[in-house]
Chains A and B, each alone.
Chain A
Amino acid sequence: MDPAVVGGDAPLRPSVVLPVFEGPLDLLLHLVREEKVSIWDIPIARICAQYHDALRAMEELDLEIAGEYLVYAAWLLLIKSRLLLPRHEGEEKDPRQELVERLVEYEKVKAAAAELAGLVELRRGVEAVRFAAPAAPEEVELDLEDVDVLALSRALTKVLERHVREHPQTLLLEPIRFSVRDKIVELFELIRRQRSFPLLSHLLTRPDRLESVTLLLAALELVRLGAARTHQRRPFAEIYLTPTGAALPMDALTDA
């Protein structure tokens, strides 16, 4: 719980020292201690009000309030309302009981954390001595103690990556299924019959991409050979192919 000075650089607002809390339990424990009340007999109404005040203060300081704080805020309100209802002796447990149990457990966690911090404080400057010995032998010693599932999965990933690197995918050559020459003949037939042939919709309705590409090449070839003309009204509109009347120079067609 390091105190963080907030708002120190804003001259118009007084600087506020607000402790940084690890969560709702930490905040509640802080409030209980501030009030100097017993953790076993928390005055819920008072603590609840202060808890909500603290959340508002955090909000005003634009601190992001984690959802867990709101869960506990609601829980406190619930406990408070339960306490207002008349209770019959021995019928029900104290509505505060679960909250108290959690606070007590959390207090132990904080104490244990403080113990650990103390242990580590004693060890500042304790560094392992490792004289530079000749390089390790060929077989790396595995520290089985600290090998866990994550280490195993990392090792597996490395092995798989190396496998992929060392075994590159073989190049797959697909057989040529469409020839430009065939398509030129086919397209030429089509435009001769239809006079004005919608090229774009024809291309877009082919089930096979390779066929569309071959057809486009064929159309360009027809124009180059002077056997067809293209028309387009405006950009992105349909492209029409019309025959020029010239015959298809069969011997000019390559076997591509």
Chain B
Amino acid sequence: MPEFKNLAAMIEAILAVAGDPVTLDALVAVAGEGVEAKQVEDAIEFVRLRHEGEGSGLQVEHVGGGWRLATRSEHEWAMREYLGYRARARLSQAALETLAVIAYRQPITMPEISFLRGVNSAAVVRTLVERKLVVVAGRKQVVGTPLLYRTSKEFLVHFGLPDLSALPTPEEVEQVAGEGASEP
């Protein structure tokens, strides 16, 4: 059984080569026999705090059901400057609305999405599926058995969420909505 600091360093190395979020289970499996999930969690937290504290250019983030090593947004301009790329293509308003509908009402069918938005959303949903932010989650057992859509792991990573429960709650969202309109 590796000692604690050793375990932390090993986890950091794994995150560095993984790229995609690594689940706790996967890390526990690599750590070997006799290492408890709790110890691995502590070690992850140790690595995370070390990056927070030392003025590191990297961070350990808890997204998409796992942990991954990523750059920090503070240095966005520098990375852009060096790599010479323009800002990433932003999601359109239609895409954001459609994602919001799917995220909060999943699994949901295309007609239901279009109804809530007041416009036909087929093309937007198709784009979101192509961008892998949305996946098909079976069929609804109603007339016509329409496809059901849900958000993907990629969605969680894109928005920096560890899991769906981390989405702003409907109450929090409603507060924002209330600010814009006059309600009784």
A interface list, Cβ under 8 A from B: 1-2, 22-26, 29, 32-33, 36-40, 66, 68, 72, 102, 105-117, 119-120, 122-131, 133, 143, 145-146, 148-151
Contact = CB atoms under 8 A, between A and B. Distances in A.
A139 to B, nearest CB: 15
A244 to B, nearest CB: 71
A126 B176 contact: no
Contact of B103 (A2, A29, A105, A116): A116
B69 interface: yes
Given A109-B101, A124-B88, A143-B153, A38 B170 contact: no
5 closest pairs, A vs B, by CB? A125-B76, A130-B19, A23-B119, A25-B118, A112-B100
A102 B118 contact: yes
Contact of B96 (A38, A113, A122): A113
B72 A109 contact: no
A68 B122 CA distance: 14
Interface in B101-137: 101, 103-104, 116-120, 129, 132, 135-137
Given A108-B174, A109-B116, A150-B136, A124 B87 contact: yes
Interface string B70-101: 11111111011000000110110110110111
Contacts of A1: 93
B159 A119 contact: yes
Contacts of B120: 66, 68
Contact of B135 (A22, A111, A148): A148
B99 A116 contact: yes
B71 A129 contact: yes
Which among A24, A110, A128, A151 has the greatest number of chain B C-beta atoms within 10 A? Answer: A128
Which residue, of A2, A22, A36, A106, has the highest number of chain B Cβ atoms within 10 A? A22
Contacts, number: 165
Contact of B136 (A108, A145, A148): A148
Contact of B118 (A23, A32, A131): A23
Given A128-B19, A149-B138, A106 B118 contact: yes
A116 B100 contact: yes
A66 B170 CA distance: 30
A128 B67 CA distance: 11
A76 to B, nearest CB: 13
Contacts of A37: 182
A58 to B, nearest CB: 14
Given A23-B118, A111-B176, A123 B19 contact: no
B137 to A, nearest CB: 7
A38 B182 contact: yes
A111 B177 contact: yes
Contacts of A149: 136, 138, 147
B5 to A, nearest CB: 21
A108 B174 CA distance: 6
A119 B132 CA distance: 18
Interface in B158-184: 158-161, 168, 170, 172-174, 176-177, 180-184
